Amino acid sequence: MAAVRVGSNLTCILIFMTDATPAEPGDELERLRALVGPSEIAYESLQADRDAAQQIAQAAMAETGELNGRLTEMSVQLSRARQDQDVLLLRARMTPWRRVVNRAKRRWSTSIVPRASHVVDRFRSS
């Protein structure tokens, strides 16, 4: 190693390496890889691991969506079963005459009223 001084200030340092030429080209490559980072094979391995992890995550997200759909479907089925149970318990407590009146009220509210309101709306719009 040698340093060149100009005046009293150190302006430039020149480094002369006597062992700069390696014995084999592979040694220099290994030295550079040690300085720079992992090899191409390790990089490709990391990319393959990343791609595999990404596919696993996507599969897990798809399964989560499918399970959420099943949960929603089961929730709807449970709500319908509870409504049916409520109706059956109500009917079990009714007398036959009360059952006829209840059925007529339901028919009136679910079938006749909507149709009549539709006819009235058409009449008003024309």
List the chain domain ranges: 2-108
3-state SS, residue 9: strand
Reported as a single tens digit per residue, the pLDDT across 102-125 is: 889 989 998 888 888 888 988 888
pTM (whole model) above 0.75: no
Confidence of residue 73 (pLDDT cuts 50, 70, 90): very high
